[in-house]
Amino acid sequence: MRTLSPPRLQFDWTPQAADVLTSFSDPTVPRALALVGPTGCGKTAISSLVIADLGEPYSILRIRGVSFGSDSPYLAIAHLVSGTVSPTDTPVSVLRRLDERLRQISADRPVLLYIQNFELLDSASAAVLSTLLGAGTYAALITCGPVESQASLMGVIAGGMVEPVEIRPLSIRTVHKILEAALPGTVPYPVAERLTRAAAGNPVRLRVLVEQALAVEGLRFRDGVWSLSGDGALGESGSRTDTAFLGVYELLEEHERFAINALAVFERLSIAGLMDIAAHADLEQLERAGLIIIEGEPPRYRLASSTVNASFLRSLSPDLVRDLWTQFGQRVRALEGTLHPAAILRAARGGVRVTREELYAAAFTATGDQRPDLSDLLLDQLGPDTAETFLVRAGNARQRGNIQASEEFASRAELSASVTAEAAQARALHILNTLEDRAQVAESERLLEAFTQWQREHASTDPVALSLVVYCDMLIASHRGRWQRVREIAEEKRFARLTPDMTNVCLMLVAEALCVQGLQNEGIALARRVFPDTLNLVWFELRDTSVMAMWRVLQVRGEWDECRHLAAVLRERFPQAGSTYAAVGELVDGFLALLQGRAERAERPMRTARALFAQLDPAEGAELGRAMEPLLADHSAEPAPDIEFDLQGVPRPLVFLGETIMTRTEADGLDLPAAISALVAQADAHHLRAEFGYQVFPAAGLLRLLLAADPAALAGAGESVQRARAVISRALSHSEGPLSRACAAFEIGLDRRDVSGAVRAGTRLSDMLGLGAFVYSGEDEAVGAESASDVVHNEPEGLSERERHVFAALRDGLRNREIAAILGISPRTAEGHVQRLYRRLGVRSRTELLAAYPLEGHGVTSIDAGTSAHPLAAVTQLRGRAG
C-alpha cells in the first residue's frame, strides 16, 4: 500500500536543552560548552532551545560558520569587530578590537557567544575565537561537527576552558517509540533496529530515510504490521559511508539522482528548467519523500533544506560539479534568466567562466535576499571596488548593524561616483542610516536639506536623484507622524516625475497616512493596488519601507491576522535577516499579539526583537535599539509609571503601539474614573493630531472598561462615563475598517439594558476578524452573557457566511441598524438581507425565526429583557448614543 502523506517524525529535545541550560544558570560565572556531533544529530535544535531561554540574562552575539566562506579571513566575526576588517589585519589586532567591542557590550549584561558550525568557520576567525575562549572571560555555546579535526577548538577543550558535550546517536529503543507514535499499527522491533542502523542514529537522516522508504514502498503496511523491503541498499548504507543521506541517495533511480545533483549545484530551478535537464526523474516522488520542495513566486524547485543541500553537494566530486555547469549552464541561464547567487559563487570558484555583470547582479540579489556575507564574497570576485560595489557593501554593512562601516562605504561611493544616480544613492543612504539606525531625526532633516539643494544644482534632470529626495522627504514626515505632509508631498508636481518603483513605495506611505487619518477604505484600496509590485524589489531599503507601511495599514485597520501572515512569509523568505527592519518587524508582531490578548504568543517575537536589537550595537552606530528600550521592556510584569514617556528618534507608529499597550496595562490597575481619564487623554491627543485611525484604539479600551464595570462603579462615575461615551462615539464616526466595525458592535450594548446579545455579536465578530480579546475579553461575568463558544447553536444548514452572521444577529436580538453596523453596510441593505433570510427559512418575522431555531437548552432569547441586571442600567441618563 502506498502512503501518500508520510508522517513527520517528531523529536523532543527539551530534556537535553534543560540539561545544557543548567550550565548557564549563573550569568556571573562565564561557562563555555561545545555541543559536538555529526550533521543532523540535533545539536542545532538543542542550542536553539537553550538560546531562546537565555535572551534575558545575556547579550547573545551570534557567529555562524558557512560553507561558502571558509577561505575568507575573518568573515565570520567581521560583524562583531569595531570598524572594517581587512584580510591583511593581524590576528592580534583583530582580537584586541573584538575584545574591546565585547567589553563595551558586557557593560549592560554578560555576553554569550553563540557560535554555530564551528567546523565551517574560516581559519582566521576560528583562531581568534579560540584565543578569546581560552581567556575564560565570556560565556559561549558552540555547535561543532567532529571536533577531532578542529585543532584550535581542541586546544581550549584540552585546557579545560570549553566543556565538550557529545550528542549521542538515537538508541534503537528511542527510535522504536518514535516510530510507534508516528505510524499506525505495529512497528516490529527489528524494523526499528534496521532503520536506526541505516541512519547511524542520526535524527535528520532517520526522518529522510523513513519518508523516502514510505514514498518508494520500501516500508510497507500490511495486515496492521510494518515491514521493510529492499534489504541491500537500506541495510548497509549506514555502515558503508559517513556522508549524510547517502542511504537515501542509493534508493533513487539514476534520473532522480541527476535531478538532486542539479538542484544541489544550481540551488533553485523552475519547474520547466528542472524537467528540461532531468526529463525522466519522478519529481512528484522526490517531493513526497521530502527531498525537494516547491516555493516562491514564480514557483521553483529546491532541495528541502540547507542541510540536505550541503550533504548532497559534499557527495559530488568537483569534476562532476564542473561538468554539470559546462553541460547545462547555458541552458539553465536561458531558462531561468537569473541564477541563485550561491550557484554563481560556486561556479566562479570552480573555474567556470562567469561574467562581471553576472557577479555584480548576483551580489546585488544576495543583498536583497538579506545575505550580506554571500554578497561580499561575490563582490570580492570582481576585483577593485567601484561606486556601485561600494553601495552594495554599504547596504551589507547596514544589514549587519555596522552603521559606521556603512557610512564609510557610502562616502567612498559618493567620491568615486561617475554618474549622479550613484552619488544620489550614497546621499540617500546617509539619510537612512541617520534616521532609521542612529535615530537622529533632526540631523536627517539637515542632511535632506543639503541633499535637496545638491539635487537642484547638480542632478535636476536625473529622475533617480529626484525620486530619492522625495522618498527621503516622505519617509522623515512619516517617521515624525506628519501625516498631512505625507499626503501633500504626493500632490506636488515633482511627484509625477518619480521612477515607477519609487512611486509605488511612496504611495504605500500615502496609504498609511490615509489610514491613520481615518480614510481607511481609500488607504487599503491604494495599498492593495501597489503593494504586490513592491514586494519583489531588489533594493531592500525600498522593499522593507513598503512592507513596514503595509504592516501599519493592516494594523490600524485591525486586520491583524493578515499582519501575522505577512510576518511569517517574510521570516520564511529571509530567514537570515538581522537588520533594523527585521527587528522592528518582530517587535510589531509581538505588539499585535499582546493587543489580541495572546501574551504567550507574543513572547517569541518580543524575545527575538530584543535579541536582534541587542546585536545592533550602538558602538557601531545602531542607536535605535537603545532609543526603544522603553518599548522593549516587559510591561505586563511591571507597568511604566509614566505613560507620557519620551522616545526621541523612534518612529511615530511604534510610539503609538507602545503607548497603546502601556496605557491599557496601566488602566487595568486603576479605579474606573482614573482609567477612563487615562484613555480619554490618549484619545484626545490622537484627535488633536488628526490621527483618527489611532483614536479607535483608546476608544476600544474605554468600551472594555464600560462593559466590564459593575453597576455601582458606573453609577459613581457618571460624568466620566458620559465623557467616555462621547469619545467612543467620536472615534467611530471618524474611522472605518474592521476594528471600527467590531467596536460598533460592542457599542450597541451600551444603549441597551441587556447587552448579552451585543457582546456575543461583538465577540463573534472580533474572533472572525482576528482581533481576539482586544475590545472585550469575555472573562468578566458582569455582563451576564454567555460566550459564543458556550452556547449550543441550532442553526439551519446551507447558509452563506453573511447569512450566518445575519441569522446570529437576529437571534441575539439586534435591530437592523445594529446589524448594519456590524456588517459595515447601510440599514436599508441590512433590511434586505434580513428579508431574504426570512424567505429562505420560510418564516415571516423574527418571532417565527426564534421559535423555529431556539438556542438549544436555553429557550428563546428575550429581545429586550427589562428585568436584566445589566451594569449600565444604573446609569439611566446614558440611554442613546452620546455625541
Condensed to tens digits (0 to 9), the pLDDT of residues 19-37 reads 888 888 888 888 899 998 8
Q: How confident is the model at residue 627 (pLDDT cuts 50, 70, 90)?
A: low
Rounded Cα distance between 188 and 18, Å, is 32
Q: How many domains does the chain have?
A: 6
Of the residues 193, 220, 251, which one is the last residue of a structural domain?
A: 251
CB 563 within 8 A of CB 548: no
Which is more confident, 866 or 272? 272
Task: Look at residue 381 and give its three-state secondary structure.
Answer: coil
Q: CB neighbours (10 Å) of residue 312?
A: 23
Rounded Cα distance between 399 and 373, Å, is 10
Could you tell me if residue 758 is inside a domain?
yes
Rounded Cα distance between 793 and 853, Å, is 9
Instruction: Dump pLDDT digits (tens) for 111-129.
Output: 999 998 888 888 888 888 9
User: Which residues, at least 6 apart from 752, have a Cβ–Cβ distance to it below 8 Å?
Assistant: 758, 864, 870
- What's this model's pTM, rounded to 2 decimal places? 0.65
C-alpha Rg value of the chain to the nearest Å: 31
The percentage of residues in the chain with a pLDDT greater than 70, rounded to a whole number, is 81
Query: What is the secondary structure of 785-804 as a DSSP string?
Result: ---GGGS---PPSS--HHHH
Whether residues 245 and 271 share a domain: the answer is: no
The angle, 0 to 180 degrees and rounded to 10, between the axes of the packed helices 254-266 and 318-336 is 80
User: Which residues, at least 6 apart from 226, have a Cβ–Cβ distance to it below 8 Å?
Assistant: 179, 183, 185, 186, 187, 188, 191, 219, 220
pLDDT at 645 over 60: no
**Considering Cα of 695, then 700, then 706, then 709, what sign does the dihedral take?**
negative
pLDDT for the residue 298: 72
**Considering Cα of 654, then 660, then 666, then 668, what sign does the dihedral take?**
negative
Q: How confident is the model at residue 70 (pLDDT cuts 50, 70, 90)?
A: low
**Considering Cα of 577, then 581, then 583, then 587, what sign does the dihedral take?**
negative
Which is more confident, 313 or 145? 145
Could you tell me if residue 233 is inside a domain?
yes
Range of the domain at 230: 172-251
Rounded Cα distance between 228 and 217, Å, is 9
Instruction: State mean pLDDT over 321-329.
Output: 83
User: Which residues, at least 6 apart from 861, have a Cβ–Cβ distance to it below 8 Å?
Assistant: 756, 757, 811, 812, 813, 850, 855
Whether residues 334 and 229 share a domain: the answer is: no
Q: How confident is the model at residue 267 (pLDDT cuts 50, 70, 90)?
A: confident
Q: How confident is the model at residue 824 (pLDDT cuts 50, 70, 90)?
A: low
Instruction: State mean pLDDT over 554-563.
Output: 87
Whether residues 640 and 658 share a domain: the answer is: no
Main-chain dihedrals φ then ψ at residue 59, nearest 5 degrees: -90, 110
Comparing 288-297, 742-751, 826-835, the range with the smallest average pLDDT is 288-297
What average pLDDT does the chain have?
A: 78
Q: CATH no. for residue 442?
A: 1.25.40
pLDDT for the residue 466: 95
Whether residues 110 and 35 share a domain: the answer is: yes
Whether residues 745 and 812 share a domain: the answer is: yes
Whether residues 466 and 518 share a domain: the answer is: yes
CA 300 to each of CA 269, 271, 273, 304: distance values in angstroms, whole numbers, following the listed order: 5, 6, 9, 12
| Chain mean position to CA 300 | 22
Query: What is the secondary structure of 801-824 as a DSSP string?
Result: HHHHHHHHHHHTT--HHHHHHHHT
Rounded Cα distance between 616 and 626, Å, is 9
Cell numbers describing residue 330: 547555458
Main-chain dihedrals φ then ψ at residue 875, nearest 5 degrees: -100, 80
Instruction: State mean pLDDT over 438-449.
Output: 91
Cell numbers describing residue 473: 522627504
Main-chain dihedrals φ then ψ at residue 455, nearest 5 degrees: -65, -40
Q: Which amino acid, residue 593? A: A
Main-chain dihedrals φ then ψ at residue 499, nearest 5 degrees: -70, 155
Instruction: State mean pLDDT over 159-185.
Output: 83
CA 682 to each of CA 514, 651, 661, 696, 700: distance values in angstroms, whole numbers, following the listed order: 20, 18, 12, 10, 12
**Closest to 45 in 3D by CA, of 158, 179, 180, 207:** 207
Whether residues 684 and 794 share a domain: the answer is: yes
Could you tell me if residue 150 is inside a domain?
yes
Rounded Cα distance between 441 and 647, Å, is 12
Could you tell me if residue 394 is inside a domain?
no
Instruction: State mean pLDDT over 167-191.
Output: 82
pLDDT at 307 over 60: no
Rounded Cα distance between 546 and 549, Å, is 5
CB 481 within 8 A of CB 513: no
pLDDT at 473 over 80: yes
Largest Cα span, the chain: 89
| Chain mean position to CA 214 | 33
Rounded Cα distance between 218 and 862, Å, is 64
pLDDT at 511 over 90: yes
Instruction: State mean pLDDT over 837-850.
Output: 80
Q: CB neighbours (10 Å) of residue 420?
A: 17
Residue 689: which H helix or E strand, with range?
Answer: none
pLDDT at 397 over 80: yes
Of the residues 302, 319, 354, which one is the last residue of a structural domain?
A: 354
Whether residues 320 and 447 share a domain: the answer is: no
Q: CB neighbours (10 Å) of residue 196?
A: 23
Could you tell me if residue 1 is inside a domain?
no
Task: Look at residue 122 and give its three-state secondary structure.
Answer: coil
Cell numbers describing residue 187: 512497528
Rounded Cα distance between 217 and 211, Å, is 10
Could you tell me if residue 75 is inside a domain?
yes
pLDDT at 491 over 90: yes
| Chain mean position to CA 280 | 38
Of the residues 624, 651, 678, which one is the last residue of a structural domain?
A: 651
CB-count burial class (<10 Å; 0-12, 13-18, 19+) for 629: exposed
Whether residues 141 and 181 share a domain: the answer is: no
Comparing 319-333, 630-644, 664-678, 848-862, the range with the smallest average pLDDT is 630-644
pLDDT at 422 over 50: yes
pLDDT for the residue 601: 78
Rounded Cα distance between 652 and 647, Å, is 9
The DSSP secondary-structure symbol of 436 reads I
CB-count burial class (<10 Å; 0-12, 13-18, 19+) for 30: buried
CB-count burial class (<10 Å; 0-12, 13-18, 19+) for 792: exposed
Whether residues 327 and 188 share a domain: the answer is: no
Cell numbers describing residue 495: 511627484
Could you tell me if residue 5 is inside a domain?
no
pLDDT for the residue 756: 63
Instruction: State mean pLDDT over 616-621.
Output: 62
Rounded Cα distance between 343 and 361, Å, is 12
The most confident of 191-195, 290-294, 442-446, 850-854, by mean pLDDT: 442-446
User: Which residues, at least 6 apart from 466, have a Cβ–Cβ distance to it below 8 Å?
Assistant: 455, 459, 460, 494, 497, 498
Q: What angle do CA 193, 199, 200 make, to 5 degrees?
A: 85
Q: CB neighbours (10 Å) of residue 793?
A: 12
pLDDT for the residue 69: 53
Cell numbers describing residue 166: 557529545
Whether residues 247 and 260 share a domain: the answer is: no
Could you tell me if residue 385 is inside a domain?
no
pLDDT for the residue 233: 37
User: Which residues, at least 6 apart from 237, have a Cβ–Cβ distance to it below 8 Å?
Assistant: 198, 246, 247, 250
Whether residues 530 and 579 share a domain: the answer is: no
Q: CATH no. for residue 258?
A: 1.10.10
